[in-house]
Amino acid sequence: MKSFGPRLRRIALAGLVAIAGSAATPALAGKADVELLKSYVGDWKGRGQLVGAEKETGVCKLALTPGNQDKVNYSGRCALAGTTLSVNGSLAFSDVNKRYEAAMTSNVSFSGLAVGKRQGDTVVFDLKERNKDEAGNDLTVTARIVLAADKINVGFHVVFNATGDSLRAEVPFSK
């Protein structure tokens, strides 16, 4: 892989801010779990490196706002090499499933279920899925989103299964 094409940039950008998944349904979520998610409400900025055959810097913004039914909604945008990714979604605690869950929609074809696990005052969302990009290439995508103290950290790795080429990024966000 000589350089990042527009499609590959969009896939990589999706991972930078994506907390992907199906709609979370928090039925009577525990107050402490809801309050922990709500403590992240606000405007966040991040800057990180996308590493593949080349390195490129990505600049990201993420806004978290109170949502309905104890959800926290988010809206994000990342810019990298002339490409912009937009994502929208929600974070919630599901009493039914006894876990944190995240949902996302984006302007690229990146989706999956991100399940969160609480570790003290930290929530870690993990996503791993196989998918195809817009050109039909088989991909393995892993992402980790960590809500810890006054920071949000997004880690992302995509492997193009046919070639073994990969892209990875780590973006720390702060208010």
For position 35, what pLDDT does the model report? 92
Write the pLDDT tens digit of every residue in 115-129. Answer: 999 998 899 988 887
Write the pLDDT tens digit of every residue in 45-98. Answer: 999 888 877 888 889 999 999 999 899 998 988 887 677 777 788 899 988 888
CA–CA gap between residue 55 and residue 94 (Å, rounded): 38
Share of the chain above pLDDT 70, in %: 78
Comparing CA positions, the residue from 89, 133, 131 lying closest to residue 112 is 131
For position 120, what pLDDT does the model report? 87
CA–CA gap between residue 54 and residue 66 (Å, rounded): 38
Supply the pTM of this predicted model: 0.76
Question: 103-107, 109-113, 146-150: which has the highest mean pLDDT?
Answer: 146-150
What tokens does 112 get? Answer: 């999956």
CA distance between the termini of the chain: 35
The CA-based dihedral angle spanning residues 127, 45, 169, 84, taken in that order and rounded to the nearest 10 degrees: 90
Average pLDDT, the chain: 79
CA–CA gap between residue 18 and residue 4 (Å, rounded): 19
For position 16, what pLDDT does the model report? 46
- Secondary structure of residue 148 in the 3-state scheme: strand
Question: 67-71, 142-146, 164-168: which has the highest mean pLDDT?
Answer: 67-71
> What residues contact residue 116 under an 8 Å CB cut-off, 6+ apart?
91, 99, 100, 101, 102, 123, 124, 125, 126, 145
CA–CA gap between residue 77 and residue 16 (Å, rounded): 9
Torsional sign, CA 123, 172, 8, 85: positive
In this structure, are residues 152 and 17 in contact, taking their beta carbons and an 8 Å threshold?
Answer: no
Does residue 131 register a pLDDT over 80?
Answer: no
Does residue 110 register a pLDDT over 70?
Answer: no
Does residue 156 register a pLDDT over 60?
Answer: yes
For position 22, what pLDDT does the model report? 30
Q: Which helix (H) or strand (E) holds 26?
A: none
**At residue 133, what is the residue type?**
D
Does residue 100 register a pLDDT over 60?
Answer: yes
